[in-house]
Amino acid sequence: GAVVSQHPSRVICKSGTSVKIECRSLDFQATTMFWYRQFPKKSLMLMATSNEGSKATYEQGVEKDKFLINHASLTLSTLTVTSAHPEDSSFYICSASGASTDTQYFGPGTRLTVL
Amino acid sequence: AQTVTQSQPEMSVQEAETVTLSCTYDTSENNYYLFWYKQPPSRQMILVIRQEAYKQQNATENRFSVNFQKAAKSFSLKISDSQLGDTAMYFCAFLNNAGNMLTFGGGTRLMVKP
């Protein structure tokens, strides 16, 4: 149990375009979903937290207009990188936790490359 | 704010041997949760073990066990009978009592040698 999927696993786009990443909890209801960013050989940095049906809470230094997060259902959250630039290239990981557990289960990540 | 420190950037161990990864943290909270996650080359984060701060008994999961010292704010991971598949980055993580902030350490890269 506690499987989280992410799509796409890898995306390459041109500078200025927008990219949407989906995060789904497959076998449990995710009351809270989290989005992280991981630079090469570094730890995970929390970008934002989203609760189903509510606006996301962004960490300091994360532009909410650039990284749009939607958590429309208990099994789906999306991260849209708007007007992507090469400095947005990174590994983005989502995680999800349910109402009955504080443990976060992670998706497999999405590698974004902006040319 | 919580901080998590992993003082060993890299470690290696021979197959079948035992290795201990260190983790210390700083918090003013009394109730919280601690985790060890494994990130193999695939980069999928995998939960290894979980410890609730109010439980004195150290958590164990097969070959993985922790030494939780609450007063010292220490949470080390012991891997027994190391296997080649244990080669990965290991992250120690602290979850606050509210459950809305998971703070990661910098990671320890573990190499299991045949």
Q: Which residues of chain B have pLDDT under 70?
A: none
Instruction: With cut-offs at 50, 70 and 90, classify the pLDDT of residue A72.
Output: confident
The C-alpha atoms of residue A81 and residue A23 are separated, in whole angstroms, by 14
What are A84-89's contacts with CB under 8 Å, separation 24+? A84/A13, A84/A15, A84/A16, A84/A17, A84/A18, A84/A19, A84/A112, A84/A114, A85/A15, A85/A16, A85/A114, A86/A15, A86/A114, A86/A115, A87/A114, A88/A112, A88/A114, A89/A113, A89/A114
Instruction: With cut-offs at 50, 70 and 90, classify the pLDDT of residue A49.
Output: very high
Contact A108 B42 (CB under 8 A): yes
pLDDT value of residue A7: 96
Chain A CB within 8 Å of residue B91 CB: yes
Residue A42: is its pLDDT beyond 70?
A: yes
DSSP 3-state assignment of A10? Answer: strand
A2-30 tens-digit pLDDT: 899 999 999 999 999 999 999 999 999 99
Residues of B in contact with A96 (CB under 8 A): none
Give the list of residues 6+ apart from residue A55 with CB closer than 8 angstroms, or none: none
Q: What mean pLDDT is reported for chain A?
A: 93
Instruction: With cut-offs at 50, 70 and 90, classify the pLDDT of residue A1.
Output: low
Chain A CB within 8 Å of residue B41 CB: no
